[in-house]
């Protein structure tokens, strides 16, 4: 039986390779951070991690995790509602709710699970979900698992959202769902207008703050803070795997009845293991750090502004952004790959994205800034971008504008 299936798989693998879409893993032998060591021994500056606050290798989080290893052991060997809940899990849930000024929080093994388990318990075929076209894959999968009627609006297009809300008036309850920051452009969802439309058309709002929590808003509380709308959306989902420490874990936080029902009915919560206590302990420490001082958030904002303003001044075409994602537009797929390869030789690790990850003809390099970057790191990256930009003909050799 396996032989025909094997050749069927090999055909697909070959097609992926022929299309130039085969993904390889690059092996790192150091902790995650601004500077990392590759298996080859090469030390590079990392500009492609979601390590926005530089907490992935943070000593205080490591210490909190080690202390919890001693006090609570390694694993829970249980889902939450059987015997997988420790005081650390409960404390982290309370702290996350306080951080976002919501009523309650439920933890998951990942935000993929939070999004996968949020729609189906809450909404039925009588209801409607109105979803941004660029929402994360986990939202798309979560919506697929739910029987609600689906509506889709073009990315951040408020006229289209209004059209879809009008169509959705037939249903009983309506939930608008959007990423807070869209990962490929770095643009922020227009949450103020979304909430205005939600009020006009009697809908609820869910924001996935995975790329915005810790990043956007003066104190890193996400897009609800950026627009002065904290506590005004029904549901927020997020990850502990990006700015919030970078290990593993996700959460849904919001109205208390919603969280209460998710604890009864959400399948990834009921049927998947509880996060290790050491991850919860590091999470608690992370929230304490972010609440005690704004140093990391300020550093991230300063670094993002510095990098983006200098790259724009040099003449690069940068997508408008208010996040820590900087999309350097190159448009051509091969150019994006050549550019990234040349940058790696200069010791700058970034990723080039092209179709189907981004629309055809919209290839780019995505740079992700971090509080862990020093100004020297940013300057080195900017210099390398300028050098390769000239070498590959993206920038004029003798720019009219000063740098
Ligand atoms: C990264 C991401 C997720 C997945 O988070 P994990 O905790 O890694 O599963 C979900 N939604 C968005 C918008 C993301 O960017």
DSSP, residue by residue, 88-146: HHHHHHHHHHHHHT-SEEEEES-HHHHHHTTSTTT--TTSEEEEETT--HHHHHHHHTS
Q: How far does the centroid of ligand 1 lie from the alpha carbon of residue 241, in Å?
A: 8
346 has a pLDDT exceeding 80? yes
- Overall pTM > 0.85: yes
399 has a pLDDT exceeding 60? no
Q: How far does the centroid of ligand 1 lie from the alpha carbon of residue 277, in Å?
A: 21
Q: Token digits for 202?
A: 């009697």
Mean pLDDT of 2-28: 94
- How far is the C-alpha of 234 from the C-alpha of 188, rounded, in Å? 18
Measure the CA dihedral 150/258/229/240, to 10°.
-90
Q: Token digits for 197?
A: 């439309």
**Residue limits of CATH 3.40.640.10 in the chain:** 59-292
pLDDT band for 397, please (50, 70, 90 cuts): confident
- How far is the C-alpha of 164 from the C-alpha of 322, rounded, in Å? 27
Q: Is 9 exposed, middle or buried (0-12, 13-18, 19+ CB in 10 A)?
A: exposed
pLDDT at residue 403 in the model: 46
Tell me if 45 sits within 8 A of 21, measured CB to CB.
no
59: number of Cβ within 10 Å: 7
Q: How far does the centroid of ligand 1 lie from the alpha carbon of residue 177, in Å?
A: 14
Closest ligand 1 atom, CA of 248? 7
- How far is the C-alpha of 129 from the C-alpha of 203, rounded, in Å? 9
Mutate to test the pocket of ligand 1, among 238, 241, 279 (most ligand atoms within 8 A of CB): 241
Q: Which residues line ligand 1 (CB under 6 A)?
A: 110-112, 115, 136, 138, 179, 183, 208, 210-211, 239, 241, 250
Mutate to test the pocket of ligand 1, among 138, 235, 253, 275 (most ligand atoms within 8 A of CB): 138
Q: How far does the centroid of ligand 1 lie from the alpha carbon of residue 112, in Å?
A: 6
131 has a pLDDT exceeding 80? yes
402 has a pLDDT exceeding 60? no
- How far is the C-alpha of 205 from the C-alpha of 177, rounded, in Å? 6
Which residues make Cβ contacts (< 8 Å) with residue 260, sequence separation at least 6? Answer: 104
Pairing between β-strand 235-239 and β-strand 250-254 as defined by DSSP bridges: antiparallel
**Residue limits of CATH 3.90.1150.10 in the chain:** 21-50+294-391
Q: How far does the centroid of ligand 1 lie from the alpha carbon of residue 212, in Å?
A: 11
- How far is the C-alpha of 128 from the C-alpha of 175, rounded, in Å? 6
Active site residues: 183, 211, 242
176 has a pLDDT exceeding 80? yes
Query: To which H or E segment does residue 206 belong?
Result: strand 204-208
Which residue from 165, 142, 141 is spatially nearest to 152, judged by alpha carbons?
165
Longest dimension (CA), the chain: 67
Closest ligand 1 atom, CA of 239? 7
Closest ligand 1 atom, CA of 108? 7
Mean pLDDT of 315-324: 95
Mean pLDDT of 156-165: 98
Architecture category of domain 21-50+294-391 in CATH: Alpha-Beta Complex (3.90)
Mean pLDDT, the chain, rounded, equals 96
- How far is the C-alpha of 170 from the C-alpha of 262, rounded, in Å? 26
| Residue 213, phi then psi, degrees to nearest 5 | -65, 130
Closest ligand 1 atom, CA of 139? 11
Domain 59-292: top CATH class: alpha beta
| Residue 122, phi then psi, degrees to nearest 5 | -95, -35
Mean pLDDT of 319-347: 96
Residue whose CA lies nearest to ligand 1 atom number 1: 210
Cis status of the peptide bond prior to 362, with omega within 30 of 0 = no
398 has a pLDDT exceeding 90? no
Query: To which H or E segment does residue 363 belong?
Result: strand 363-368
Mean pLDDT of 46-65: 98
């Amino acid at each position: 039986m396996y032989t025909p299936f094997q050749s069927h798989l090999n055909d697909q693998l070959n097609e992926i390779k022929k299309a130039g879409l085969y993904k390889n893993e690059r092996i790192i032998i150091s902790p995650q951070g601004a500077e990392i060591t590759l298996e080859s021994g090469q030390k590079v500056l990392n500009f492609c991690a979601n390590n926005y606050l530089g907490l992935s290798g943070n000593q205080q989080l490591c210490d909190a995790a080690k202390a919890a290893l001693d006090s609570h052991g390694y694993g829970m060997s249980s889902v939450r509602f059987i015997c997988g809940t420790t005081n650390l899990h409960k404390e982290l849930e309370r702290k996350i709710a306080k951080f976002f000024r919501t009523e309650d929080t439920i933890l998951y093994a990942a935000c993929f699970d939070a999004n996968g388990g949020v729609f189906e318990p809450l909404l039925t075929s009588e209801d409607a979900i109105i979803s941004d076209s660029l929402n994360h894959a986990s939202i798309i999968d979560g919506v697929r698992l739910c029987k609600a009627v689906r509506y889709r609006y073009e990315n951040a297009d408020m006229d289209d959202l209004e059209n879809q809300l009008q169509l959705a008036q037939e249903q009983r309850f309506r939930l608008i769902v959007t990423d807070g920051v869209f990962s490929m452009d770095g643009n922020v969802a227009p949450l103020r207008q979304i909430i205005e439309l939600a009020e006009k058309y009697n809908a609820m709002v869910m924001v996935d703050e995975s790329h915005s929590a810790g990043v956007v808003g003066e104190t890193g509380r996400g897009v609800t803070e950026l627009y002065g709308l904290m506590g005004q959306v029904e549901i927020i989902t997020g990850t502990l795997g990006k700015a919030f420490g970078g290990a593993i874990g996700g959460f849904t936080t919001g109205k208390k009845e919603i969280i209460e029902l998710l604890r009864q009915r959400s399948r990834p919560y009921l049927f998947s293991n509880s996060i290790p206590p050491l991850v919860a302990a590091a999470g608690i420490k992370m929230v304490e750090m972010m609440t005690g001082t704004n140093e990391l958030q300020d550093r991230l904002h300063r670094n993002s502004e510095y990098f983006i303003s200098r790259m724009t001044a040099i003449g690069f075409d940068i997508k408008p952004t208010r996040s820590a994602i900087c999309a350097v537009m190159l448009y051509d797929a091969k150019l994006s790959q050549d550019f990234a390869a040349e940058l790696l030789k200069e010791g700058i690790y970034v990723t080039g994205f092209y179709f189907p990850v981004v629309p055809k003809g919209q290839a780019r390099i995505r740079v992700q800034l971090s509080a862990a970057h020093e100004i020297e790191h940013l300057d080195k990256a900017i210099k390398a971008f300028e050098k390769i930009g000239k070498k590959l003909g993206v920038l004029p050799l003798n720019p009219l504008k000063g740098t």
